[in-house]
Copies of this chain bind each other. A is one copy, B any other.
Amino acid sequence: MGQRRDPRSQRCVVPANLMPMQTMTFEVHTGSAPAVADITGQCEQFARQAAGGGDGLLHVFVPHATAGLAVLELGSGSDSDLLSVLNELLPADDRWRHAHGSRGHGRSHVLPAFLRPDATVPVVGGRLALGTWQSVALVDLNVDNRDRQVRLSFLA
């Protein structure tokens, strides 16, 4: 079954799977235009430190009502392709009942129903088990909120 055991569990230290969940937060500057911000590096670094070479799940969470997460390839045009699809699905016009701030702001409140604020990635041998072309991104259409928080948690 490809089942793995944390090699540290043979030692006298507390293995990660017997430790309480490890969790931290960090800030991302998303600026004043719709953004697809790469946070893979922060995820990888936290997972490496928390897992201690073992296996577990990395949980990523955005505690904001107007931002979401996506796991996709970045840097080859798909980030702007995604923003184009979101512009059609959630146009920045006056249709929104939830109306305050910049024009079309209400669409940012619907975004998290589709691009959810939670994502979970397996950690194997202390590393994110992402595919070659996968990155973890924070997606933010909200031009009124330039700084975002992300919470990372590791459970083994």
| Residue ranges of A at the interface with B (Cβ–Cβ < 8 Å) | 1-6, 9, 15-25, 46, 49-50, 54-57, 59, 61-65, 70-73, 76-78, 80-82, 84-85, 89-90, 95-99, 106-107, 109-110, 112-122, 124, 129-134, 139, 149, 151, 153, 155-156
Q: Given A5-B19, A118-B119, list of 17 further CB < 8 A pairs?
A: A1-B50, A2-B23, A4-B22, A20-B55, A20-B156, A57-B155, A59-B120, A61-B121, A62-B131, A63-B131, A63-B134, A65-B131, A71-B116, A72-B109, A73-B109, A78-B109, A118-B121
Q: CB-CB < 8 A to A5: which residues of B? A: 19-20
CB pair B96–A77 under 8 Å, yes or no, is yes
Q: CB-CB < 8 A to A55: which residues of B? A: 20-21, 23, 153
Each complex incorporates copies of this chain amounting to: 3
A17 to B47, CA, bound (A): 18
Q: CB-CB < 8 A to A4: which residues of B? A: 20-23
> Considering only CB atoms, which chain B residue lies closest to A73 in the complex?
B65
A77 to B107, CA, bound (A): 11
CB pair B20–A109 under 8 Å, yes or no, is no
A7 nearest CB across to chain B (Å): 9
Q: CB-CB < 8 A to A65: which residues of B? A: 72-73, 78, 131-134
A-B contact list, 25 entries, CB within 8 Å:
A1-B46, A1-B49, A6-B20, A15-B20, A16-B20, A55-B153, A61-B120, A61-B121, A64-B133, A65-B72, A70-B113, A70-B116, A73-B98, A76-B98, A76-B109, A77-B98, A78-B106, A81-B107, A82-B110, A82-B113, A85-B110, A89-B89, A118-B120, A118-B121, A155-B155
